[in-house]
Amino acid sequence: MKAAVIVFPGSNCDRDCKVAIERSTGAKVDMVWHGDTALPSGLDLIVLPGGFSYGDYLRCAAMASLSPVMAEVRAAAERGVATVGICNGFQVLTEAKMLPGALLRNEKLKYVCKPVGLEVTNAQTRFTAAYNGRREVEMTVGNGEGNFFADEETLDRLEGEGQVVFRYLDNPNGSSRAIAGIVNGKGNVLGLMPHPDRAFEEELGSADGALLFQSALASA
């Protein structure tokens, strides 16, 4: 199995993602610089990590979404390659219009960093199959702009088509309908604000994030 982690200026969870994927799945992981114009061949998973790409200037991820490598990420996703955006990576996916909605300032205008309980809203996706029907998991959030927003029509469509994958049990940032993670219509692009890369071993407080990476690569 082969995975790639995209590295933007300001990424701070890129190596965390690499280690999490390697230890969770045994996959080979390549680090790909945002300025590259090609991806390694034969990828089974692409991860856009958390951090503060380009220092969060303009809007979070607005500049990163225009990085040269994103054309290749989009093309790979259109071919069906599993693609995960975590925290700032979720923001990149919305800015690049690979996922609907937007991530706004947290409801109380404060940075939130803590473990959170999540409901696995859709256990039948290629990112959640390894949870084997578990309805509640734990990961960690660390964001100041994690407030997922979309208009009511879009929210109804996401709900109705099973694209809401994770929901907060205790909404820490005011996200619409407590949404923590969504997939695209094809089901191969996932964006989530909680960090599976900070929850892949019990020593970190939870190993639930490992199952997300295992699910994504098993589906390949």
Provide the pairing of β-strand 164-168 with 112-120: antiparallel
Distance CA 213, CA 29 (A): 12
Distance CA 181, CA 188 (A): 13
As annotated, the active-site residues are 87, 195
Q: Which residue, among 192, 43, 201, 200, has the nearest Cα to 118 in the 3D structure? A: 192
Tokens of 75: 């093309």
On the CB side of 8, CA atoms within 13 Å amount to 29
Contact 214, 32 (CB under 8 A): no
- Chain centroid to CA 100: 13
Q: What is the dihedral of CA 132, 135, 142, 213, to 10 degrees?
A: 10
Q: Crossing angle for the helix pair 14-25 and 208-218, nearest 10 degrees?
A: 70
Contact 45, 27 (CB under 8 A): yes
